[in-house]
Structure 1
């Protein structure tokens, strides 16, 4: 089935990257934070990558 929080974090990061809204970016950051504590080491590495993508997106808009 997979980690639901991880899946939600991935979804919100993708939505934030396709949106100009600050609220959407904030939601994605919260989802990443929530997912991190409940993830495997491999998922945590992917979450870090998503967080970096989100930060780059936020800085470039």
Structure 2
């Protein structure tokens, strides 16, 4: 969790202090879309295998 938090903080710091050009913005949005697709895959995996979602997912997402 510490590594994830550090990564998130570093990413937000970069985004808040950097003006992205059009190509960089397109790449950032493509990466975000890719990560969202992985999240959807995990949700389908849980539903398909009748697994119980972690409590944090139920509190944060509609699952």
TM-score, length of structure 1 as denominator length: 0.41
Larger radius of gyration: 2
- The TM-score, its normalising length taken from structure 2, stands at 0.40
Which protein has the bigger helix share? 1
